[in-house]
Structure 1
Amino acid sequence: MTSRTLYLFGSAAPPVFDVARVMEDAQARSWDVCLGLTPSAARWLDNSLDGLTALSGHPVRSEYKLPGEPDVWPKADVILVAPATFNTINEWALGLSSKFVVGVAAESIGRGIPLVTMPCVNAAYVQHPAFATSVETLAGAGVTVLYGKGGFVPNEPGEKRPFPWAVALDAVETIVSSGP
């Protein structure tokens, strides 16, 4: 049984379709993976949710639990928010926590849980001034933001290229091994 728990939180961007492989890669690195998805990402993966639950051994979550319900996940050692869409990055930086994954990530800043994020946005979105401010806000709050050189480099709208998942998982390993 693994003793390290990774919360993997995904937004509705094409790399979320690779999440089963990413979970397997993280498990091969001795992580117990709990998968959280934005409501749109959960809808995109609706036909795979049972299989993803079986793969993880934990329920896939996209909604907050009801008051009084027990928490069904173990405590996180680290949280990886990837792919993180334009909307997710901006909501998180602003503290708009109506979505489960954004709310947990926002609260985790104050709880001292290490956070890594890799945006998945195209070059048109990053021209909006809110995006740079949001990236700066998250980095200033202690979130490891894998954006630009060495992380995710925005693609042109409609351009398809591989998402650098290995970079994200390597960053998770680095942040946890460096400790507090």
Structure 2
Amino acid sequence: MEPLNHQGRVLYVVACAAPAAAGLPRLVTLAQTSGWQVHVVATPMGERFIDIPELERLTGDLVRSAFRMPDAPKGLPPADAVIVAPATFNTINKWAGGIADTFAVGLLCEMMGFGVPIVAVPLLKDALARHVAFGRSVAALRKMGVHVLFDPAAPPEARMPSWDRVMQELHSVVRGRQTQG
């Protein structure tokens, strides 16, 4: 099957505070190669795990992590899809519960309301993956239409799929939405 042409389509990449976030330049490059216009959003703690200057250089846009003031111009074009990777325990639980206390989580809640295709890739410690709140939150997000790429049976060191796999999953989800519409 031929990959879809995503030329000019807007992809938000939401990064949380986990070591895998340091690899976001690879994800951005893969997405751009597929024709996506990429915009990066980070949780406040996620900023500590990413190379903001490098991501801004790659995307030609600011990395956002804070709410804009009411008189500030809107900074992001409407999204056609979203990847949340790595998604932490905290972000997954707040997002599923509708606790929009950060720009990133508020944006994710809105994207769900707009019906934008979303792929979430949780990355967390094994003990947190076993926490009952996490399981409920993943189930709730899936029920709301979020594609959660997480295998609880995988060993912790293998839970984060490659960026290539994340992009394959995004294209599959977007393709599925297009064939349904």
Please provide the CA RMSD for this pair: 2.0
Q: Which position in structure 1 is the counterpart of 2:8?
A: 3
User: Given the alignment, which residue of 156, 159, 174 partners 2:172?
Assistant: 174
Give the CA deviation at 1:68: 2.4
Alpha-carbon contact 1:76-1:113 (below 8 Å) kept: yes
Alpha-carbon contact 2:150-2:159 (below 8 Å) kept: no
Alpha-carbon contact 1:23-1:33 (below 8 Å) kept: yes
Give the CA deviation at 1:29: 0.9
Report the TM-score when normalising by structure 1.
0.89
User: Given the alignment, which residue of 52, 73, 76 partners 2:76?
Assistant: 73
Report the TM-score when normalising by structure 2.
0.88
Aligned residue-pair number:
173
| Partner Cα distance (1:65, 1:7) in 2 | 17
Q: Which position in structure 2 is the counterpart of 1:134?
A: 137
**1:86 to 2:84 alignment:** no
Contiguous gaps of at least 5 residues in structure 1: none
Q: Which position in structure 2 is the counterpart of 1:120?
A: 123
1:40-92 deviation line (CA, Å, top 9, x unaligned): 111233xx312211210111001111112112222100011110011110010
Give the CA deviation at 1:154: 5.1
Alpha-carbon contact 2:17-2:43 (below 8 Å) kept: yes
Give the CA deviation at 1:93: 0.4
Alpha-carbon contact 1:9-1:37 (below 8 Å) kept: yes
| Partner Cα distance (2:54, 2:149) in 1 | 29
Q: Which position in structure 2 is the counterpart of 1:19?
A: 24
Task: Give the AA of the match of 1:12.
Answer: A
Secondary structure of 1:177's match? helix
Alpha-carbon contact 1:121-1:154 (below 8 Å) kept: no
